[in-house]
């Protein structure tokens, strides 16, 4: 297990050598090559994000795959400069909206995609960013749910959210209530939909059960704590710092543990008693899965939300308790499942228990630092967001 963790750490090295372009250069640099959608040029970051972290994965970026293939490896690490591209979008489609972006959440998967290590490779040029919060600038002719000026958040964008404007399919856009600011809006989509899916759509959680949110201080973890608490579960959470533990306790957890404390799993066992914990929402399976199996109750389930490498377990541990290890992928949610998540999330906002916690904030120019920090830092205290 130790070697799996070490391997993961090596393969997720931080980006290096990024320069920052002045904000004013973002759109103007290549505006002449851009396409207009709803009257606005879509500016975004592309090549500046497509290198660095994945030195040890350089071979995995297939040659000839455009900028990703060229810039994912060592050669590019010597030469990379942050560049600004105007994204060409098939804009104005009838069921799409154009959003003036105010904030965009940073998700760890965006670093995996940028470095070329992720199974799904994006079309190039690629601008990361799913979780946008902003204001509708214009709508396609068949969009009735939104109008210019509406505050919204997204679950996904078509053009990329690390940009001043983003195009999104209308069915991936949701109203952002006045009680939440744009930073909070950028912390809703992927984290809360994933947490809801892990708990209920895949984990079949029920009121009265217990849940261990293993890695509770980040975007998905805090969402899971809030949702589980609101739905009547007993909530245990882990963080790597005192500060993180306090944030967890303020957001639904009954008990918090420090996953850097060598004895923390013993403390969790002492808290749950011999019955164990019913559900584990696991953010770092390659490190924790073996220990998780020891913490589960009879018929307990580990929900694999995050994983950065391989791990060794003894499958016998699942037999003795008839426990389950279940993968979670928000990407595979059906339209109906996404609607269910959205209903739960919007109800939670209205009721007041769903309050996204924003952690580190970065201007768009510091996006390379944000990518470095989300992978390499320990001590999350909420959702990381980019401000525009
Ligand atoms: N399956 C899906 O559909 C899906 C969707 C969204 C996200 N994810 C994945 O879920 C994971 C979490 O995403 P996120 O957005 O919440 O990331 P995040 O905001 O960066 O949070 C990462 C969390 O992992 C914790 N962590 C660090 N070391 C840990 C350890 N040894 N054991 C347990 N937890 C540990 C961090 O705690 P400290 O910083 O306090 O140490 C923090 O709470 C990522 O791997 C992401 O790629 C999967």
Return the DSSP state at 124.
Answer: S
Q: φ, ψ for residue 97 (rounded to 5)?
A: -125, 155
pLDDT band at 325 (very low <50, low <70, confident <90, very high): very high
Q: Cα of 310 to ligand 1 centre, how many Å?
A: 16
- Tell me how far apart the alpha carbons of residues 80 and 126 are, in angstroms, rounded to a whole number: 16
Specify the ligand 1 atom closest to the Cα of 308. 45
Closest by CA to 375, choosing from 103, 11, 38, is 11
Residue with tokens 């949610």: 333
Q: Of 245, 321, 236, 307, whose CA–CA distance to 271 is shortest? A: 236
Q: What ligand 1 atom has the least distance to the C-alpha of 222? A: 16
Ligand 1 environment, Cβ below 6 A: 107-109, 190-191, 194, 214-221, 238-241, 244, 259, 283-284, 287-288, 305-306, 328-330, 374, 378-380
Whole-number Å distance, alpha carbon 211 to ligand 1 midpoint, is: 16
DSSP string, 290-318: HHHHHHEEEEEEEEE----S-----THHH
- The structure's pTM equals 0.84
Instruction: Among 108, 130, 311, 383, name the best residue to mutate to test ligand 1's pocket (greatest count of ligand atoms within 8 A of Cβ).
Output: 108
Centroid of chain to Cα 16: 22
pLDDT recorded at residue 84: 42
pLDDT-wise least confident of 44-53, 89-98, 158-167, 316-325: 44-53
Residue whose CA lies nearest to ligand 1 atom number 33: 215
**More confident: 195 or 42:** 195
Residue nearest to atom 41 of ligand 1 (CA): 240
Q: For atom 34 of ligand 1, which residue has the closest CA?
A: 215
What confidence tens digit (pLDDT) does each residue in 257-282 have? 999 999 999 999 999 999 999 999 99
Residue 377 has what pLDDT? Answer: 81
φ/ψ of residue 98, rounded to 5? -105, 130
- Expressed in angstroms and rounded, the spacing between residue 91 Cα and the centre of ligand 1 is 34
Residue 311 pLDDT greater than 80, yes or no: yes
CB 277 within 8 A of CB 212: yes
Q: Is residue 220 within 8 Å of 251, Cβ to Cβ?
A: no
Distance 215 CA to ligand 1 centre (A): 6
Which of 8, 215, 280 has most ligand 1 atoms within 8 Å of CB, for mutation?
A: 215
Structure confidence by residue, pLDDT tens digits, 293-307? 999 999 999 999 999
The β-bridge relationship of strands 96-105 and 132-139 is antiparallel
5 alpha carbon – ligand 1 mean position (Å): 14
Contact 57, 51 (CB under 8 A): no
Residue whose Cα lies nearest atom 25 of ligand 1: it is 215
Please give the number of the atom of ligand 1 that sits closest to the Cα of 305: 1
Is the CB of residue 66 less than 8 Å from the CB of residue 348?
Answer: no
Q: Which atom of ligand 1 is nearest to the CA of 260?
A: 31
Average pLDDT score, the chain: 81
Q: What is the mean pLDDT of residues 305-326?
A: 97
Q: Is residue 378 classed as helix, strand or coil in its secondary structure?
A: coil
CA distance 292 to 220: 18
pLDDT of 124 reads 87
In this prediction, residues 195-209 reach a mean pLDDT of 98
The minimum-distance atom of ligand 1 relative to the CA of 359 is: 19
CA of 109 to the centre of ligand 1 (A): 10
Dihedral sign, Cα of residue 50, residue 52, residue 56, residue 59: positive
Q: Which of 105, 306, 325 to mutate to test ligand 1, by most ligand atoms within 8 A of the CB atom?
A: 306
* Burial (0-12, 13-18, 19+ Cβ within 10 Å), 71: buried
- Are the CB atoms for 286 and 311 separated by under 8 Å? yes
Q: What digits encode the pLDDT tens for the residues 3-55?
A: 222 222 222 222 222 122 222 122 222 222 233 333 233 434 443 443 333 22
Confidence (pLDDT) at 4: 25
Ligand 1 atom nearest residue 328's Cα = 1
For residue 94, the CA-to-ligand 1 centroid distance in Å is: 36
Closest atom of ligand 1 to CA, residue 375: 20
Strands (E), the chain: 36-37, 40-41, 43-45, 84-86, 96-105, 132-139, 151-154, 165-169, 173-175, 210-214, 234-239, 255-258, 277-282, 296-304, 324-327, 358-363, 383-387
State which ligand 1 atom lies nearest to the alpha carbon of 197: 3
What is the reported pLDDT for 67? 26
Q: d(Cα 23, Cα 19) in Å, to the nearest integer?
A: 12
DSSP 220-286: HHHHHHHHHHHTT-EEEEEESSHHHHHHHHTTT-SEEEETTSTTHHHHHHHHH-TT-EEEEEES-HH
**Contact between 97 and 136 (Cβ < 8 Å):** yes
Burial class (CB in 10 A: 0-12, 13-18, 19+), 20: middle
Report CA(229)–ligand 1 centroid distance (Å). Answer: 19
- Closest residue (by CA) to atom 31 of ligand 1? 259
pLDDT(169) > 90: yes
Long-range interactions of 61-70: CB distance < 8 A, separation 24+: 61/116, 65/121, 65/124, 66/124, 66/125, 67/124, 67/125, 67/126, 68/116, 68/121, 68/122, 68/124, 68/126, 69/116
Calculate what percentage of the chain has a pLDDT beyond 90: 73
């Amino acid at each position: 297990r130790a070697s799996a963790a070490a391997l993961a750490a090596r393969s997720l090295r931080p980006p290096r050598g990024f320069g920052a372009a002045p904000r004013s250069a973002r759109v103007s640099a290549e505006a002449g090559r851009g396409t207009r959608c709803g009257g606005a040029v879509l500016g975004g970051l592309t090549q500046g994000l497509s290198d660095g972290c994945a030195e040890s994965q350089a071979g995995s970026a297939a040659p000839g795959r455009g900028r990703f293939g060229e810039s994912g490896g060592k050669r590019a690490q010597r030469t990379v400069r942050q560049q600004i591209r105007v994204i060409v979008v098939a804009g104005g489609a009838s069921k799409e909206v154009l959003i003036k972006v105010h904030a965009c959440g940073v998700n760890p998967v965006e670093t995996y995609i940028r470095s070329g290590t992720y199974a799904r490779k994006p079309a190039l040029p690629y601008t990361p960013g799913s979780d946008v919060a902003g204001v509708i600038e214009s709508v396609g002719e068949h969009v009735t749910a939104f109008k210019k000026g509406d505050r919204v958040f997204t679950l996904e964008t078509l053009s990329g959210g690390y940009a001043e404007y983003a195009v999104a399919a209308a069915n991936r856009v949701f109203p952002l209530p006045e009680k939440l600011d744009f930073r909070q809006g950028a912390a809703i989509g992927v984290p809360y939909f994933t947490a809801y899916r892990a708990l209920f759509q895949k984990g079949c959680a029920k009121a009265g059960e217990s849940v261990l949110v293993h890695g509770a201080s980040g975007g998905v973890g805090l969402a899971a704590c809030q949702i589980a608490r609101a739905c009547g579960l007993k909530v245990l959470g882990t963080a790597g710092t005192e500060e993180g533990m306090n944030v967890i306790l303020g957001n639904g957890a009954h008990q918090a543990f420090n996953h850097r404390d060598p004895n923390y799993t013993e403390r969790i066992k002492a808290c749950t008693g011999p019955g164990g914990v019913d559900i584990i929402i696991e953010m770092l399976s390659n490190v924790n899965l073996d220990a998780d199996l020891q913490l589960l109750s009879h018929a307990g389930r580990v929900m694999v939300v995050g994983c950065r490498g391989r791990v060794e377990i003894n499958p016998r541990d699942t037999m003795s308790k008839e426990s389950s290890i279940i993968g979670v992928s928000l990407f595979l949610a059906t339209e109906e499942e996404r609607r269910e998540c959205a209903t739960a999330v919007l109800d939670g906002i209205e009721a007041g228990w769903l309050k996204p916690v924003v952690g580190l904030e970065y201007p768009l120019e510091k996006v390379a630092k944000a990518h470095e920090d989300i992978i390499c830092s320990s001590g999350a205290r909420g959702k990381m967001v980019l401000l525009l």
